[in-house]
Amino acid sequence: MMVLLSSWIFSYHVFVSFLLLISSGITYGTETDIFCLKSIKKSIQDPNNYLRSSWNFNNKTEGFICRFNGVECWHPDENRVLNLKLSNMGLKGQFPRGIVNCSSLTGLDLSINDLSGTIPVDISSLLNYVTTLDLSSNEFSGEIPLSLANCTYLNTLKLDQNQLTGQIPLQLGTLTRLKTFDVSDNSLTGQVPTFTDGKVDANYANNPGLCGSLLLGACKAKDSSKSNTAVIAGAAVGAVTLAALGLGVVMFFFVRRGSYRRKEEDPEGNKWARSIKGTKGIKVSLFEKSISKMKLSDLMKATNNFSNSNIIGTGRTGTVYKATLEDGTAFMVKRLQESQHSEKEFMSEMATLGIVKHRNLVPLLGFCMAKKERLLVYKNMPNGMLHDQLHPAAGDCTLDWSLRLKIAIGAAKGLAWLHHSCNPRIIHRNISSKCILLDAEFEPKISDFGLARLMNPLDTHLSTFVNGEFGDFGYVAPEYTKTLVATPKGDVFSFGTVLLELVTGERPASVAKAPETFKGNLVEWIAELTTNSKLHDAIDESLVNKGDDNELFQFLKVACNCVSETPKERPTMFEVYQFLRAIGSKYNFTTEDEILIPEDIGIDNMDELIVARERNN
């Protein structure tokens, strides 16, 4: 009985602690978070203009910082930072102490940059609620701060590929939530921590001075008899110090020259790519027999060693690089975000995804595994992401109505096929205008299908929500933030938001032409217009009065059905596809159906089609 009582008390305290964590993140923020990002932008050098081009503080609408590069918020319409993901941006300078003002922050990723100096000794007071801290692949020096042991919420701590010295604080072993700990490729010495939870995935490779584990061997006891010898040796060392200094100067310039040459070979200084150069001979597993055999070395050469200048897109699942072979053949390579899945599980997923073929899916040509890296090879899509076509950095969208309708019908067909005909059936979980790519003829192709299964689980733990891993903001179905369970109707909601983007020309997280007093997202704006009988006002002004107004309004009605707040009120993706086909019947966009579903009900009138759906239900 006492054991049960103790267990209940412990669970109660854990629950209360979690509530305090959440409430503290919700209570503070907004103005301080804006100041936080301003101070980071000011204190860090940004030679590639990743922050300078995106972090514009002139906009005063609620949630505007949530659209900055690398910024994820607790809610898309609230200036409260949840995660900062500033990896691989070429940033320079020291650790940004202004981060303390992001008081709700749970995840910080500064990996693969050129940051230097020491890690702040008071880092725990700068990052009160951090669960993921990744400072790997930088130039940080000095010792690992003891105060990291006070970051009690840490799940992941990555400090590898830096210039850290000294001992690892043994107190880190008391971090009961820690699952991943990586300090490889540093110059650390002494005994490694013994973790309370023996399931920690620890990596100490390439630290010759470490000891105290099964792989590293036991630490040797100090031999007092050697103390006198040490004194004598010290005197001898003093005699050659002057000569050593001279040699050191020579070596300094030699190393500096070598480093300069390496930067000439790899101008972007991409450290993760350099870390896998020793595995260049690994073959790329291909699903297409028509594709020439490739090795990792071919991928590296085709992407200029995965240079930042070759990046054509980033998202929750990873970074996409443009690749061009010597014969001019172009394709895309996606570097997946780190996954907890084993090599065997990854191979199994690849075997499944490799046979998934459809006209409106981006073809997966092959994959490659190098150390911990997972690289996917896709067919090239010359016209890039639908998002960039709808929201170009400079100027207005140039897509006319017929082309937008063609894209909507093709994308709906691809997603309907994944839901209804693919074996096994696939829930996408991350539908947005960024994962709909366009080929040379603007035929839409859905990317990232099946990749959600390779990411860390989305629907098993409440910590998923705390870590902010639930798709792109603005597209997420309202029920998901409560249940954390992905469903086909969640995909329908996300796709409905894409349809709203197509017909309104607005971004999902904010509405440019809404009144300044409106603080909601695109879906909420549409709901408000519907309530006020002003839905026509939502249509992109560049599309109206060109003879297509009836089609535009029917299209808008389909989108509104998709984003219904109640999942049961949303149509299936097959029905969405049929609705859109009916609207675009005069254009002859569609080819022979590959969706194995009851035959096309063949109704051209939208109102009759909706009645037919209700009758079938």
Is the separation of the CB atoms in 485 and 459 below 8 Å? yes
373-379 and 330-336 beta bridge pairing: antiparallel
Of 360, 405, 408, 423, nearest in space to 593 by CA: 360
Is the separation of the CB atoms in 361 and 445 below 8 Å? yes
163-167 and 187-191 beta bridge pairing: parallel
How far is Cα 522 from Cα 515, in angstroms, rounded to an integer? 13
- Cα–Cα separations (whole angstroms), residue 27 to 32, 38, 91, 102: 12, 21, 31, 12
List phi, psi (to 5°) of 580.
Answer: -70, -35
Give the model's confidence band at 237: pLDDT under 50 very low, under 70 low, under 90 confident, else very high: very low
pLDDT exceeds 80 at position 66 = yes
Would you say the C-alpha torsion 162, 173, 466, 34 has a positive or negative sign?
negative
Is the separation of the CB atoms in 418 and 449 below 8 Å? yes
Both tokens of 472, joined, read: 């792109």
Q: Give residue 577's pLDDT.
A: 94
Both tokens of 264, joined, read: 């000439």
Burial code of 558-582, b = ≥16 C-beta within 10 A, e = fewer?
Answer: bbbbbbbeebeebbbbbbbbbbbbb
How far is Cα 207 from Cα 192, in angstroms, rounded to an integer? 11
Of 75, 81, 82, 89, nearest in space to 38 by CA: 81
All residues at 6 or more sequence positions from 251 whose CB lies less than 8 Å from its CB, including other chains: none
Both tokens of 343, joined, read: 């090599």
The alpha carbons of the chain give a radius of gyration, in whole angstroms, of 27
pLDDT in tens, 286-309: 877 667 788 888 888 888 888 888
Is the separation of the CB atoms in 206 and 183 below 8 Å? no
Both tokens of 380, joined, read: 């090239």
How far is Cα 436 from Cα 499, in angstroms, rounded to an integer? 12
Element (H, E) at 503: helix 488-504
**Percent of all residues in the chain with a pLDDT value above 90, rounded to a whole number:** 32
Is the separation of the CB atoms in 333 and 324 below 8 Å? no
Q: Give residue 550's pLDDT.
A: 93
Burial code of 264-276, b = ≥16 C-beta within 10 A, e = fewer?
Answer: eebebbbbbbbbb
**Ramachandran region of residue 269, left (φ > 0), alpha (ψ -120 to 50) or beta?**
left
Of 334, 302, 305, 306, nearest in space to 318 by CA: 334
Residue with structure tokens 């490694």?
192
Element (H, E) at 25: helix 2-27
Is the separation of the CB atoms in 597 and 425 below 8 Å? no
Provide the whole-model pTM: 0.57
Q: What is the mean pLDDT of the chain?
A: 78
3-state secondary structure at position 154? coil
Both tokens of 369, joined, read: 């595994």
Q: Identify which of 75-89, 247-261, 394-408, 507-521 has the greatest average pLDDT.
A: 394-408
Count Cβ atoms within 10 A of the Cβ of residue 607 and give its class: 0-12 exposed, 13-18 middle, 19 or more buried: exposed
Residue with structure tokens 């002004």?
541
Is the separation of the CB atoms in 59 and 34 below 8 Å? no
Average pLDDT over residues 81-97: 91
Cis peptide before 567 (omega within 30 of 0): no
Q: Give residue 262's pLDDT.
A: 39
Both tokens of 203, joined, read: 């990596």
Average pLDDT over residues 335-364: 81
Of 501, 478, 492, nearest in space to 555 by CA: 501
pLDDT exceeds 60 at position 6 = no
Which segment of 22-26, 278-282, 526-530 scores lowest on mean pLDDT? Answer: 22-26
Give the model's confidence band at 498: pLDDT under 50 very low, under 70 low, under 90 confident, else very high: very high
pLDDT in tens, 427-473: 988 899 989 999 999 999 999 888 776 665 433 333 333 333 334 56
Is the separation of the CB atoms in 428 and 446 below 8 Å? yes
pLDDT in tens, 398-431: 899 999 999 999 999 999 999 998 888 889 888 9
Give the model's confidence band at 513: pLDDT under 50 very low, under 70 low, under 90 confident, else very high: confident
Cis peptide before 424 (omega within 30 of 0): yes
Both tokens of 331, joined, read: 């394709």
How far is Cα 117 from Cα 120, in angstroms, rounded to an integer? 9
pLDDT exceeds 70 at position 78 = yes
Which residue type does 511 have? V
Residue 451: CB atoms within 10 A of its CB come to: 25
Is the separation of the CB atoms in 385 and 437 below 8 Å? yes
Residue 94: CB atoms within 10 A of its CB come to: 14
pLDDT in tens, 168-183: 999 898 888 888 899 9
Q: Give residue 120's pLDDT.
A: 94
Q: Identify which of 229-233, 532-536, 587-591 has the greatest average pLDDT.
A: 532-536
**Which DSSP symbol is given to 383?**
T
Q: Give residue 461's pLDDT.
A: 33
How far is Cα 558 from Cα 187, in angstroms, rounded to an integer? 60
Looking at per-residue pLDDT, the higher value among 119 and 11 belongs to: 119
3-state secondary structure at position 84? strand
114 has which bridge partners? 92
Element (H, E) at 370: strand 364-370
Query: Residue ranges of the alpha helices (H) in 77-200?
Result: 123-126
pLDDT exceeds 50 at position 20 = no
Both tokens of 461, joined, read: 């733990």
Is the separation of the CB atoms in 360 and 476 below 8 Å? no
How far is Cα 80 from Cα 63, in angstroms, rounded to an integer? 8
